[in-house]
Amino acid sequence: MPTIEDYKGQTPAWCPGCGDFGILTAFKQAVVEMGMEPHQFTIVSGIGQAGKFPHYLKCNTFNGLHGRTLPVATGIRLSNHVMPVIAVAGDGDCYGEGGNHFIHAVRRNINIKLFVHDNQIYGLTKGQASPTSMEGMVTKTQPFGVFSEQLNPVALAIALDCSFVARSFAGDTKHLKGMIKEAMTHKGFSLVDIFQPCVTFNKINTFEWYKKRVYQIEPEYNPEDRVEAFKRALEWGDRIPIGVIYRNHRPILEERVPVIAEKPLVRQGFDKSKLEKTLKEFY
């Protein structure tokens, strides 16, 4: 059985008190409890504070470019669909720079687990507005406040009929661990949007701010009702729901690609013997 110690990685370069630490703790606990070994899965990350996540763990890692986690994860997963593939991104990373990829990864319903460290700000580049920043937030680059409507990733995902949509909070590692485990075991593209306070640059959406507002969705709630899910997704203000907000059981891409019905692509080898016949088709 793996232990938390097995997952000890590089020393994090995050600011003390950053919400990212809570995510790291919850993630380690989740994979250990699930009995996953570091070599059994791959994390793909982008660039930002969240992008550094896999370095602070132990696992197969592709730390790619800002915004490009999902296409890389898609390529990995299609090539080896028996290996769990996790994408870790920031809110800017995933919803800004990589917004197009987000839409299409959800549409494909490839069985990737996407964990978004949503601090409603650009942390690594020192505090510019992100797509999820609240309207009116003043930053160095938005001196008159943010003009654009705040992006609602949960509602967007439900609109796209995303297979699994959850929200959690880095300040509640127990809840977060649960959401991570549920996402990991769900079959289908899974988004967990995680409120992750940036203690250095986001002076609005602080630990206190979230703590005051978030509430856990009641157990009777049926996440398979899309219209109800949409209503929950639109709740924002004094009360913000966390938990599994929407879920469906659409077939996953990996099961629809005939080429990998029997074996993952990476195990198929290359059979040269058919080439003669293929060449003949040109005569």
Ligand X SMILES: Cc1ncc(C[n+]2csc(CCOP(=O)(O)OP(=O)(O)O)c2C)c(N)n1
Binding mask 195-224 for Mg ion (x = CB under 5 A): ------------------------------
Residue 221 touches which of other proteins, ligand X, Mg ion, none (Cβ within 5-8 Å per kind): none
Identity at 35, one-letter amino acid code: G
CA distance readout (Å), 122 to 21, 57, 77, 171, 200: 17, 22, 28, 19, 11
Contact status: 80 vs ligand SF4 (CB under 6 A): no
139 vs 128: CA distance, rounded Å: 6
Shortest Å, Cβ 130 to Mg ion:
5
Q: Which is nearer to ligand X, 85 or 121 (CB)?
A: 121
Shortest Å, Cβ 183 to ligand SF4:
22
139 vs 3: CA distance, rounded Å: 42
240-247 vs 164-169, strand pairing mode: antiparallel
Query: Hey, is 138 helix, strand or coil?
Result: coil
Shortest Å, Cβ 22 to other proteins:
22
Contact status: 68 vs ligand X (CB under 6 A): no
Closest CA to 45 of 19, 65, 23, 71: 65
Backbone torsions φ then ψ of 101, nearest 5 degrees: -65, -35
Contact status: 182 vs Mg ion (CB under 5 A): no
Do 53 and 88 meet the contact criterion of CB atoms below 8 Å apart?
yes
Name which of residues 91 to 120 contact Mg ion (CB under 5 A): 91, 119
Name which of residues 187 to 226 contact ligand SF4 (CB under 6 A): 198-201
Burial of 69 (0-12, 13-18, 19+ CB in 10 A): buried
Residue 90 touches which of ligand SF4, Mg ion, other proteins, none (Cβ within 5-8 Å per kind): Mg ion
Q: Which residues, 6 or more positions from 26, have their beta carbon under 8 angstroms from its beta carbon? A: 170, 173, 174, 176, 177, 180
Name which of residues 36 to 75 contact Mg ion (CB under 5 A): none
64 vs 66: CA distance, rounded Å: 7
Contact status: 32 vs ligand SF4 (CB under 6 A): no
Shortest Å, Cβ 120 to Mg ion:
7
Residue 95 touches which of Mg ion, ligand SF4, other proteins, none (Cβ within 5-8 Å per kind): none
* Angle subtended at Cα 177 by Cα 207 and Cα 172, rounded to the nearest 5 degrees: 20
Closest CA to 156 of 116, 128, 122, 184: 116
Contact status: 139 vs ligand X (CB under 6 A): no
Name which of residues 87 to 116 contact ligand X (CB under 6 A): 90-93
Residue 276 touches which of Mg ion, other proteins, ligand X, none (Cβ within 5-8 Å per kind): other proteins
Query: Hey, is 10 helix, strand or coil?
Result: coil
Stretch that binds ligand X, among 118-126, 160-168, 210-218, 241-249 (CB under 6 A): 118-126
Count the residues of the shown chain that bind Mg ion, applying the rule CB under 5 A.
4
Binding mask 56-95 for other proteins (x = CB under 8 A): --xxxxxxxx--x-xxxxxxxxxxx-xx------------
- What is the contact surface with ligand X in residues (CB under 6 A)? 47-50, 66, 90-93, 117, 119, 121-125, 130
